[in-house]
Amino acid sequence: MRRGDRLFEIIEIIRSSQNPISAARIATELGVVKRTVYRDVATLIAQGVPIHGEAGVGYILEPGFHMPPLMLTPNEIAAAVLGAQWVQTRAEPELARAAEKLIAKIAAVSPDHAQMSFVAPPTSVAPVSHSPEVFEAGEMRRAIQSRSKVRIGYRDASGVITRRIIWPILLGYRDEGRIVAAWCELRAGFRYFRTERMTDAEVLEEKIPRRMDILRTEWRKAMDAERIGFEGSGMSLA
């Protein structure tokens, strides 16, 4: 995390706490040591942020402090809130928490006249039921970002389980469940894998031997050709 982002996070952590919050707790939330928190808080105070602290008690933020306003239109705010609501109800816990924090940050720097969009948003997202998954979606996202191969057990629609090594390209989020677009070494082609059908998964140390942008371009071309060939059926079977 960049230091500028961490300073903002410290302000939001202290603001959101109903009681004085210790440096140790802030450090735990941010994944840093207490010394870093002490240094960052000192920087914020020097910049005029009204943080007050007492040894053995913790930090508080003076009521009424506001970050510089973020100038968003009502439609932009509605879009941000609706998007975060969708993520909160359909993404894995890691992204759901991030969506909640995102809205809190936008609300904190939005002008007063826009606050009702956060207190009583005019939009809503219907809840959905989630199928159990053996592989945390966050791990798949990190595998994609690090260009790591993934070994999976995959159960097809008839219940047959095969062992695959895949090169994950994209993680797609649907209303119910997630789909991984990947190159499959077993099938020597691009395939889609439903995460709830993965019986097990392991991120390998071996890296994907292709540039990700080139791989994605080839995937899009292959999918376009398949849609044309199968009159828009869209997906090849894994």
Q: What are the backbone angles phi and psi of residue 218, rounded to the nearest 5°?
A: -65, -40
Burial 119-157 (b: 16+ CB within 10 A, else e): eeeeeebeeeeeeebebebebbbebbeebbbbebebeee
Three-state DSSP class for residue 166: strand
Which CATH architecture does the domain made up of 3-61 adopt?
A: Orthogonal Bundle (1.10)
How far is CA 63 from each of CA 18, 21, 70, 120, rounded to the nearest angstrom? Answer: 11, 15, 19, 22
Domain ranges of the chain: 3-61, 74-119, 137-229
pLDDT for the residue numbered 230: 66
Using the structure block, give the residue that is written with the tokens 């140390």. Answer: 205
Taking the C-alpha atoms of residue 221 and residue 230, their distance in angstroms, rounded to an integer, is 14
| Long-range own/partner contacts, residues 1-9 (CB < 8 A, 24 or more apart) | 1/30, 1/31, 3/40, 6/30, 6/32, 6/36, 6/40, 7/40, 7/43, 7/44, 8/67, 8/105
CATH topology of domain 137-229: SH3 type barrels. (2.30.30)
Structure-token pair, residue 153: 């057990």
Taking the C-alpha atoms of residue 194 and residue 6, their distance in angstroms, rounded to an integer, is 35
Q: pLDDT tens for residues 101-125?
A: 888 878 877 767 777 777 778 888 8
Q: What is the DSSP letter of 87?
A: H
Average pLDDT of the chain is 86
pLDDT for the residue numbered 133: 78
Decide: pTM greater than 0.75.
Answer: no
Average pLDDT over residues 223-231: 76
Per the CB < 8 A criterion, the answer to whether 147 and 204 are in contact is: no
- Quote the percentage of the chain above a pLDDT of 90: 44
Average pLDDT over residues 119-146: 84
